[in-house]
A = this chain, B = another copy of it.
Amino acid sequence: MSEAVSRPTLEAVAARAGVSRATVSRVVNGGDGVREPLVERVRRAVEELGYVPNQAARSLVTKRHDAVAVVIAEPETRIFTDPFFALQLRGISKELTAQDNQLVLLLTEGRDDHARVARYLAGGHVDGALVFSLHLDDPLPGLIEGAGVPTVFGGRPGWSGGSKSAVYVDCDNRGGAEDAVRHLVGLGRTRIAHITGPLDQTSAADRLQGYRDVMGETDPRLVVASDFTPSGGERAMGELLDRCPDVDAVFAANDLTALGALRVLRERGRRVPEDVAVIGFDDVLPVAGQTEPALTTVRQDIEEMGRLMARLLLSTLNRGQSPTGAPTGVVLPTTLIRRATA
Protein backbone atom coordinates (compact mmCIF):
# COMPACT_ATOMS: atom_id res chain seq x y z
CA MET A 1 0.00 0.00 0.00
CA SER A 2 0.96 3.58 -0.34
CA GLU A 3 2.65 4.84 2.73
CA ALA A 4 -0.06 7.41 2.92
CA VAL A 5 1.61 9.24 5.75
CA SER A 6 -1.04 8.18 8.21
CA ARG A 7 -3.71 10.78 8.10
CA PRO A 8 -4.63 12.85 11.11
CA THR A 9 -7.17 11.44 13.52
CA LEU A 10 -9.84 13.05 15.61
CA GLU A 11 -7.36 12.94 18.43
CA ALA A 12 -4.91 15.09 16.53
CA VAL A 13 -7.53 17.65 15.66
CA ALA A 14 -8.71 17.73 19.24
CA ALA A 15 -5.21 18.33 20.49
CA ARG A 16 -4.65 21.12 18.05
CA ALA A 17 -7.94 22.81 18.82
CA GLY A 18 -7.45 22.29 22.51
CA VAL A 19 -10.72 20.44 22.98
CA SER A 20 -11.80 16.85 23.45
CA ARG A 21 -12.37 14.27 20.76
CA ALA A 22 -16.07 14.33 21.50
CA THR A 23 -16.31 17.99 20.66
CA VAL A 24 -14.47 17.59 17.43
CA SER A 25 -16.75 14.74 16.53
CA ARG A 26 -19.77 16.92 17.16
CA VAL A 27 -18.46 19.70 15.00
CA VAL A 28 -17.52 17.37 12.20
CA ASN A 29 -21.00 15.90 12.27
CA GLY A 30 -22.89 19.13 12.00
CA GLY A 31 -21.79 21.11 15.00
CA ASP A 32 -25.05 21.04 16.92
CA GLY A 33 -24.75 21.77 20.58
CA VAL A 34 -21.32 23.29 20.39
CA ARG A 35 -20.77 26.95 21.04
CA GLU A 36 -19.69 29.11 18.17
CA PRO A 37 -16.16 30.02 19.26
CA LEU A 38 -15.30 26.39 19.72
CA VAL A 39 -16.86 25.39 16.44
CA GLU A 40 -14.69 27.92 14.73
CA ARG A 41 -11.56 26.73 16.43
CA VAL A 42 -12.22 23.14 15.57
CA ARG A 43 -13.03 23.99 11.98
CA ARG A 44 -9.73 25.71 11.63
CA ALA A 45 -7.85 22.78 13.10
CA VAL A 46 -9.61 20.42 10.72
CA GLU A 47 -8.67 22.66 7.86
CA GLU A 48 -5.07 23.02 8.85
CA LEU A 49 -4.52 19.34 9.39
CA GLY A 50 -6.49 18.30 6.34
CA TYR A 51 -8.50 15.99 8.51
CA VAL A 52 -10.84 13.55 6.81
CA PRO A 53 -12.95 11.23 8.94
CA ASN A 54 -12.11 7.56 8.76
CA GLN A 55 -15.18 6.00 7.30
CA ALA A 56 -14.37 2.53 8.57
CA ALA A 57 -14.17 3.68 12.16
CA ARG A 58 -17.36 5.62 11.79
CA SER A 59 -19.24 2.74 10.19
CA LEU A 60 -18.10 0.46 12.93
CA VAL A 61 -20.09 2.40 15.44
CA THR A 62 -22.90 3.94 13.41
CA LYS A 63 -23.58 0.85 11.35
CA ARG A 64 -24.10 3.09 8.40
CA HIS A 65 -21.91 3.10 5.37
CA ASP A 66 -23.23 5.90 3.25
CA ALA A 67 -22.79 3.59 0.36
CA VAL A 68 -25.28 2.01 -1.97
CA ALA A 69 -24.75 -0.94 -4.25
CA VAL A 70 -25.90 -0.79 -7.83
CA VAL A 71 -26.41 -4.27 -9.15
CA ILE A 72 -26.61 -4.69 -12.87
CA ALA A 73 -27.55 -8.19 -13.73
CA GLU A 74 -27.54 -8.32 -17.43
CA PRO A 75 -26.03 -11.44 -18.84
CA GLU A 76 -26.76 -10.11 -22.28
CA THR A 77 -24.53 -7.63 -23.92
CA ARG A 78 -27.21 -5.03 -23.77
CA ILE A 79 -25.46 -3.00 -21.13
CA PHE A 80 -22.67 -2.49 -23.54
CA THR A 81 -24.62 -1.48 -26.57
CA ASP A 82 -27.50 0.47 -25.20
CA PRO A 83 -26.85 3.84 -23.60
CA PHE A 84 -29.76 3.06 -21.34
CA PHE A 85 -27.75 1.84 -18.38
CA ALA A 86 -25.15 4.53 -18.72
CA LEU A 87 -27.79 7.20 -18.50
CA GLN A 88 -29.50 5.62 -15.58
CA LEU A 89 -26.17 5.26 -13.83
CA ARG A 90 -25.57 8.92 -14.32
CA GLY A 91 -28.85 9.80 -12.70
CA ILE A 92 -28.11 7.51 -9.81
CA SER A 93 -24.62 8.84 -9.41
CA LYS A 94 -25.79 12.42 -9.32
CA GLU A 95 -28.35 11.80 -6.67
CA LEU A 96 -26.10 9.67 -4.51
CA THR A 97 -23.35 12.22 -4.74
CA ALA A 98 -25.72 14.99 -3.82
CA GLN A 99 -26.54 13.09 -0.68
CA ASP A 100 -22.96 12.12 0.06
CA ASN A 101 -23.34 8.47 -0.64
CA GLN A 102 -20.98 6.24 -2.52
CA LEU A 103 -21.83 4.05 -5.45
CA VAL A 104 -20.54 0.51 -5.35
CA LEU A 105 -21.00 -1.11 -8.72
CA LEU A 106 -21.73 -4.81 -8.92
CA LEU A 107 -21.79 -6.18 -12.44
CA THR A 108 -22.89 -9.77 -12.74
CA GLU A 109 -22.02 -11.95 -15.65
CA GLY A 110 -24.26 -14.85 -14.87
CA ARG A 111 -25.56 -17.22 -12.29
CA ASP A 112 -22.15 -17.80 -10.82
CA ASP A 113 -22.04 -14.24 -9.69
CA HIS A 114 -25.37 -14.30 -7.94
CA ALA A 115 -24.10 -15.94 -4.82
CA ARG A 116 -21.28 -13.48 -4.66
CA VAL A 117 -23.63 -10.53 -4.91
CA ALA A 118 -26.01 -11.97 -2.38
CA ARG A 119 -23.17 -12.54 0.03
CA TYR A 120 -21.92 -9.04 -0.46
CA LEU A 121 -25.28 -7.49 0.17
CA ALA A 122 -25.96 -9.69 3.15
CA GLY A 123 -22.55 -8.78 4.45
CA GLY A 124 -23.81 -5.36 5.35
CA HIS A 125 -21.26 -3.44 3.36
CA VAL A 126 -23.81 -1.08 1.98
CA ASP A 127 -26.95 0.52 3.32
CA GLY A 128 -29.10 -0.44 0.40
CA ALA A 129 -29.19 -1.62 -3.16
CA LEU A 130 -30.45 -0.48 -6.52
CA VAL A 131 -31.06 -3.48 -8.67
CA PHE A 132 -31.53 -3.93 -12.36
CA SER A 133 -32.71 -7.38 -13.06
CA LEU A 134 -35.33 -7.43 -15.61
CA HIS A 135 -35.65 -11.04 -16.51
CA LEU A 136 -38.69 -12.93 -15.41
CA ASP A 137 -36.81 -15.97 -14.31
CA ASP A 138 -34.00 -14.19 -12.56
CA PRO A 139 -33.28 -15.69 -9.15
CA LEU A 140 -31.38 -12.61 -8.04
CA PRO A 141 -34.29 -10.59 -6.69
CA GLY A 142 -35.21 -13.48 -4.47
CA LEU A 143 -31.70 -13.78 -3.17
CA ILE A 144 -31.57 -10.10 -2.53
CA GLU A 145 -34.79 -10.14 -0.67
CA GLY A 146 -33.26 -12.85 1.45
CA ALA A 147 -30.28 -10.67 2.18
CA GLY A 148 -32.58 -8.26 3.95
CA VAL A 149 -31.13 -5.14 2.39
CA PRO A 150 -33.43 -2.27 1.50
CA THR A 151 -33.74 -2.37 -2.25
CA VAL A 152 -35.27 -0.42 -5.08
CA PHE A 153 -35.60 -2.05 -8.45
CA GLY A 154 -35.05 -0.43 -11.80
CA GLY A 155 -37.94 -1.50 -13.95
CA ARG A 156 -40.93 -3.45 -12.80
CA PRO A 157 -39.61 -6.72 -11.47
CA GLY A 158 -41.30 -9.65 -13.05
CA TRP A 159 -40.18 -12.58 -11.05
CA SER A 160 -42.75 -14.87 -9.66
CA GLY A 161 -43.02 -15.64 -5.99
CA GLY A 162 -41.42 -13.58 -3.29
CA SER A 163 -42.87 -10.46 -1.86
CA LYS A 164 -45.24 -8.55 -4.02
CA SER A 165 -44.30 -5.34 -2.36
CA ALA A 166 -41.01 -4.67 -4.10
CA VAL A 167 -40.34 -1.01 -4.65
CA TYR A 168 -39.47 -0.10 -8.20
CA VAL A 169 -39.20 2.77 -10.61
CA ASP A 170 -40.29 2.35 -14.16
CA CYS A 171 -41.61 4.33 -17.05
CA ASP A 172 -45.09 3.86 -18.36
CA ASN A 173 -44.17 1.25 -20.93
CA ARG A 174 -47.72 0.25 -21.60
CA GLY A 175 -49.09 3.77 -21.86
CA GLY A 176 -46.19 4.88 -24.02
CA ALA A 177 -46.77 2.00 -26.37
CA GLU A 178 -50.45 2.84 -26.53
CA ASP A 179 -49.63 6.41 -27.48
CA ALA A 180 -47.31 5.27 -30.20
CA VAL A 181 -49.76 2.88 -31.74
CA ARG A 182 -52.59 5.36 -31.44
CA HIS A 183 -50.49 7.86 -33.29
CA LEU A 184 -49.95 5.36 -36.06
CA VAL A 185 -53.66 4.71 -36.21
CA GLY A 186 -54.27 8.44 -36.36
CA LEU A 187 -51.99 8.56 -39.38
CA GLY A 188 -54.42 6.27 -41.11
CA ARG A 189 -52.26 3.19 -40.97
CA THR A 190 -54.10 -0.06 -40.83
CA ARG A 191 -51.46 -2.77 -41.02
CA ILE A 192 -49.52 -1.85 -37.93
CA ALA A 193 -46.85 -4.30 -36.85
CA HIS A 194 -44.93 -4.62 -33.60
CA ILE A 195 -41.40 -5.86 -33.20
CA THR A 196 -41.11 -6.88 -29.58
CA GLY A 197 -38.21 -6.89 -27.16
CA PRO A 198 -37.23 -10.02 -25.27
CA LEU A 199 -40.53 -10.99 -23.73
CA ASP A 200 -38.99 -12.30 -20.57
CA GLN A 201 -38.38 -8.69 -19.64
CA THR A 202 -41.25 -6.73 -18.22
CA SER A 203 -40.54 -3.63 -20.26
CA ALA A 204 -40.88 -5.60 -23.46
CA ALA A 205 -43.95 -7.42 -22.23
CA ASP A 206 -45.61 -4.19 -21.15
CA ARG A 207 -44.96 -2.53 -24.49
CA LEU A 208 -46.47 -5.46 -26.29
CA GLN A 209 -49.47 -5.17 -24.00
CA GLY A 210 -49.83 -1.50 -24.92
CA TYR A 211 -49.79 -2.43 -28.57
CA ARG A 212 -52.51 -4.99 -27.98
CA ASP A 213 -54.58 -2.53 -25.96
CA VAL A 214 -54.96 -0.39 -29.01
CA MET A 215 -54.95 -2.95 -31.76
CA GLY A 216 -57.21 -5.51 -30.19
CA GLU A 217 -57.32 -8.73 -32.14
CA THR A 218 -55.01 -8.47 -35.11
CA ASP A 219 -53.27 -10.60 -37.58
CA PRO A 220 -50.81 -12.46 -35.35
CA ARG A 221 -48.26 -12.31 -38.09
CA LEU A 222 -47.93 -8.61 -37.40
CA VAL A 223 -46.18 -9.32 -34.12
CA VAL A 224 -42.59 -10.47 -34.40
CA ALA A 225 -40.39 -11.27 -31.46
CA SER A 226 -36.97 -9.73 -31.25
CA ASP A 227 -34.37 -8.74 -28.70
CA PHE A 228 -33.77 -4.99 -28.42
CA THR A 229 -30.76 -5.08 -30.72
CA PRO A 230 -30.25 -3.56 -34.18
CA SER A 231 -29.51 -6.88 -35.79
CA GLY A 232 -32.54 -8.37 -34.10
CA GLY A 233 -34.54 -5.53 -35.57
CA GLU A 234 -33.19 -6.28 -39.00
CA ARG A 235 -34.07 -9.90 -38.77
CA ALA A 236 -37.55 -9.18 -37.52
CA MET A 237 -38.22 -6.55 -40.14
CA GLY A 238 -37.10 -8.91 -42.86
CA GLU A 239 -39.44 -11.57 -41.62
CA LEU A 240 -42.23 -9.09 -41.35
CA LEU A 241 -41.87 -7.92 -44.91
CA ASP A 242 -41.80 -11.48 -46.12
CA ARG A 243 -44.99 -12.53 -44.45
CA CYS A 244 -46.91 -9.26 -44.51
CA PRO A 245 -45.77 -7.30 -47.55
CA ASP A 246 -48.65 -4.93 -47.00
CA VAL A 247 -47.43 -3.71 -43.61
CA ASP A 248 -47.66 0.07 -43.46
CA ALA A 249 -46.41 0.85 -39.96
CA VAL A 250 -44.05 -0.60 -37.39
CA PHE A 251 -43.89 0.05 -33.69
CA ALA A 252 -40.47 -1.14 -32.60
CA ALA A 253 -39.91 -2.07 -28.96
CA ASN A 254 -36.91 0.24 -28.69
CA ASP A 255 -34.79 2.61 -30.71
CA LEU A 256 -32.08 0.10 -31.47
CA THR A 257 -34.66 -2.25 -32.91
CA ALA A 258 -36.10 0.59 -34.96
CA LEU A 259 -32.63 1.31 -36.26
CA GLY A 260 -32.32 -2.20 -37.63
CA ALA A 261 -35.82 -2.08 -39.06
CA LEU A 262 -35.11 1.17 -40.87
CA ARG A 263 -32.03 -0.31 -42.42
CA VAL A 264 -33.96 -3.25 -43.86
CA LEU A 265 -36.80 -1.06 -45.05
CA ARG A 266 -34.34 1.02 -47.00
CA GLU A 267 -32.68 -2.05 -48.42
CA ARG A 268 -35.98 -3.40 -49.57
CA GLY A 269 -36.89 -0.13 -51.19
CA ARG A 270 -39.66 0.92 -48.84
CA ARG A 271 -39.88 4.62 -48.21
CA VAL A 272 -40.16 5.81 -44.64
CA PRO A 273 -42.60 7.15 -43.66
CA GLU A 274 -44.50 7.18 -46.95
CA ASP A 275 -44.73 3.43 -47.37
CA VAL A 276 -44.03 2.35 -43.84
CA ALA A 277 -44.17 4.54 -40.74
CA VAL A 278 -41.82 3.65 -37.89
CA ILE A 279 -41.85 4.48 -34.20
CA GLY A 280 -39.27 3.49 -31.62
CA PHE A 281 -39.08 3.62 -27.85
CA ASP A 282 -36.60 5.18 -25.41
CA ASP A 283 -35.47 8.25 -27.30
CA VAL A 284 -31.87 7.52 -26.72
CA LEU A 285 -30.51 10.49 -28.55
CA PRO A 286 -27.39 9.16 -30.15
CA VAL A 287 -29.61 6.61 -31.79
CA ALA A 288 -32.93 8.32 -32.37
CA GLY A 289 -31.42 11.61 -33.44
CA GLN A 290 -29.08 9.93 -35.90
CA THR A 291 -31.28 7.68 -37.95
CA GLU A 292 -32.28 8.54 -41.42
CA PRO A 293 -34.90 9.84 -41.42
CA ALA A 294 -34.88 10.99 -37.80
CA LEU A 295 -36.80 8.58 -35.62
CA THR A 296 -40.17 9.28 -34.11
CA THR A 297 -40.11 7.61 -30.73
CA VAL A 298 -41.48 7.41 -27.22
CA ARG A 299 -39.30 9.26 -24.78
CA GLN A 300 -38.69 8.12 -21.28
CA ASP A 301 -36.56 10.19 -18.98
CA ILE A 302 -33.97 7.60 -18.18
CA GLU A 303 -31.67 9.74 -16.14
CA GLU A 304 -34.56 10.91 -14.02
CA MET A 305 -35.53 7.34 -13.37
CA GLY A 306 -32.07 6.77 -12.01
CA ARG A 307 -32.27 9.80 -9.78
CA LEU A 308 -35.61 8.75 -8.52
CA MET A 309 -34.45 5.28 -7.66
CA ALA A 310 -31.65 6.70 -5.59
CA ARG A 311 -33.85 9.27 -3.95
CA LEU A 312 -36.43 6.67 -3.05
CA LEU A 313 -33.86 4.38 -1.53
CA LEU A 314 -32.12 7.07 0.45
CA SER A 315 -35.33 8.46 1.81
CA THR A 316 -36.41 5.10 3.12
CA LEU A 317 -32.96 4.59 4.59
CA ASN A 318 -33.17 7.89 6.38
CA ARG A 319 -36.61 7.07 7.55
CA GLY A 320 -35.01 4.17 9.29
CA GLN A 321 -37.06 1.42 7.77
CA SER A 322 -36.89 -0.92 4.91
CA PRO A 323 -38.91 0.18 1.91
CA THR A 324 -41.42 -2.58 2.27
CA GLY A 325 -44.83 -1.16 2.83
CA ALA A 326 -43.95 2.00 0.96
CA PRO A 327 -45.49 2.78 -2.39
CA THR A 328 -44.90 -0.27 -4.47
CA GLY A 329 -43.98 1.30 -7.74
CA VAL A 330 -43.33 4.70 -9.19
CA VAL A 331 -44.17 4.93 -12.84
CA LEU A 332 -42.91 7.88 -14.84
CA PRO A 333 -44.84 9.19 -17.81
CA THR A 334 -43.60 8.98 -21.37
CA THR A 335 -44.02 11.39 -24.23
CA LEU A 336 -44.19 10.80 -27.93
CA ILE A 337 -41.47 12.67 -29.79
CA ARG A 338 -42.47 13.29 -33.36
CA ARG A 339 -39.66 13.35 -35.82
CA ALA A 340 -39.64 12.19 -39.39
CA THR A 341 -40.47 8.49 -39.43
CA ALA A 342 -44.11 8.70 -38.36
Q: Which residues of A contact B (CB under 8 A)?
A: 1-5, 7, 50, 52-57, 59-60, 63-65, 67, 70, 77, 79-81, 83, 85-87, 89-90, 93-94, 97, 102-107, 109, 113, 116, 119-120, 122-125, 127, 148-150, 229-231, 260, 263, 286, 289-290, 292, 317, 320-322
Contact A105 B86 (CB under 8 A): no
Instruction: Considering the complex, give the chain B residue whose CB is closest to the CB of A103.
Output: B105
A52's partner among B1, B5, B122 (CB-CB below 8 A) is: B122
Q: How many copies does the complex hold?
A: 2
Contacts of A289 in B (CB 8 A): 231
Known: A104-B105, A105-B103. A2 touches B286 (CB 8 A): no
A2's partner among B50, B86, B87, B150 (CB-CB below 8 A) is: B150
A124's partner among B54, B70, B106 (CB-CB below 8 A) is: B54
Contacts of A104 in B (CB 8 A): 67, 102-105
A149's partner among B2, B80, B87, B102 (CB-CB below 8 A) is: B2
Known: A5-B148, A321-B2, A322-B2. A52 touches B119 (CB 8 A): yes
Contacts of A150 in B (CB 8 A): 1-2
Contacts of A107 in B (CB 8 A): 89-90, 93-94, 97, 103
Contact B123 A55 (CB under 8 A): yes
Contact A124 B290 (CB under 8 A): no
Contact A290 B80 (CB under 8 A): no
Instruction: Tell me the complex Cα distance, A70–B123, Å.
Output: 22
Contact A60 B54 (CB under 8 A): yes
Instruction: Considering the complex, give the chain B residue whose CB is closest to the CB of A230.
Output: B290
Known: A60-B56, A102-B125, A290-B231. A86 touches B80 (CB 8 A): yes
Contacts of A103 in B (CB 8 A): 104-107
Instruction: Tell me the complex Cα distance, A168–B121, Å.
Output: 32
Instruction: Considering the complex, give the chain B residue whose CB is closest to the CB of A291.
Output: B263
Contacts of A125 in B (CB 8 A): 55, 102
Instruction: Tell me the complex Cα distance, A148–B7, Å.
Output: 11
Instruction: Considering the complex, give the chain B residue whose CB is closest to the CB of A125.
Output: B55
Contact B80 A2 (CB under 8 A): no
Instruction: Considering the complex, give the chain B residue whose CB is closest to the CB of A113.
Output: B97
Contacts of A60 in B (CB 8 A): 54, 56-57, 60
Instruction: Considering the complex, give the chain B residue whose CB is closest to the CB of A83.
Output: B80
Instruction: Tell me the complex Cα distance, A65–B1, Å.
Output: 11
Contact B105 A2 (CB under 8 A): no
Contacts of A321 in B (CB 8 A): 1-2
Instruction: Tell me the complex Cα distance, A292–B289, Å.
Output: 18
Closest Cβ–Cβ distance, residue A200 to chain B (whole Å)? 21
Contact B80 A105 (CB under 8 A): no
Instruction: Considering the complex, give the chain B residue whose CB is closest to the CB of A80.
Output: B86
Contact B105 A93 (CB under 8 A): yes
Instruction: Tell me the complex Cα distance, A230–B288, Å.
Output: 12
Contact B4 A124 (CB under 8 A): yes
Most buried by B among A77, A149, A320: A77
